[in-house]
Amino acid sequence: MLKAHKISYSQRKFTILEDIDVSVNHGELLAIVGPNGAGKSTLLSLLANEMDKNDATIFFKRKTFEEWDDKELPRHKAKFSQSNSNDIPLSVKDVVMMGRYPYFHATPHKQDNEAVTKAMQETDVEVLAQRDYNSLSGGEKQRVHLARVLAQLDNEVANKLVFLDEPLNNLDVLHQHRILHTIKNFTGRGNTAIIVLHDLNLAAQFADSIMLMKKGKIVSHDVPDKVFTREIISGVYNFPCTVCPNPVNKNPLIIFGT
């Protein structure tokens, strides 16, 4: 689905990413984790073709992004970013409809309205459809933009890819799990998701593979059981932890502190 080799990135002579290889398969949910300043969001933006890549070549569906048609690419991939405008003078439904702009010129079609309704249901914002976006709380705005991204990829194209940069910020426990279940269902249909997370236990519960980063490098990239060990996590976060089986699902459970 997505492959990149030897990604490096520097800014003002400061190395942010160094020699990173990435390979993500169809139907995979990859979680990128690591402490602050590890380069997680920068890597995600580079993989999503939003930044200069320092000559690194990224292949998406066996084509470089330069080989893709600009009008066709948004039907295959979408990205949710940490920061979105807090001042959008539109209703919630109209903000979500922005995700459908690649599919119509002036007037939304039936399938566009259906995709918007479905996305709002999945993110629990359907009851806010007619609300002024600017009147919402931070968590509600977060879910609206998640709905916009989901609506963008609601189409007949096979093997879609979504990038999500810390999509759980400002969300309560219910909506954190609801969003991750939605993403898991998305990948369960043969699509792919690359998500930056801070909560290691949620990553262990939902991700198929984990990429653990520190200071711009990959420390470990494997299944959760192989990455989330006491030695690796304590070393990367410079803080003691215990790792034991989660009593509910047997996934690794990380408990920080002594």
The pLDDT of residue 31 is: 98
* Of residues 110, 94, 147, 151, the one with CA closest to residue 125: 147
What integer pLDDT is reported at residue 54 of this predicted model?
Answer: 61
With CA atoms as reference, report the closest residue to 91 among 127, 119, 133: 133
Task: Please count the residues of the chain.
Answer: 258
Give the model's pLDDT for residue 247. Answer: 92
Q: What is the model's pTM?
A: 0.93
Assigned token pair, 170: 């400002």
Q: What was the pLDDT predicted at 136?
A: 94
CA-nearest of 1, 41, 4 to 25 is 1
Residues 6+ apart with CB under 8 A from 257: 239, 240, 241
Give the DSSP H/E element, type plus range, for residue 155: none
Q: Select from 77, 24, 79, 29 the least CA-distant residue to 188.
A: 29
Burial class (CB in 10 A: 0-12, 13-18, 19+), 99: buried
Q: What are phi and psi of 119, to 5 degrees?
A: -65, -40
Question: What averages of pLDDT result for each successive group of 10 residues across the chain (258 residues)?
Answer: 91 88 95 96 93 78 92 95 82 97 92 96 96 94 95 92 94 94 94 96 97 96 96 96 93 92
* pLDDT confidence of residue 55: 67
Distance CA 3, CA 21 (A): 8
> Tokens at residue 258, please?
């002594």
Domain annotation for the chain: domains and CATH numbers: 1-76+158-229 (3.40.50.300), 84-156 (no CATH)
DSSP 132: B
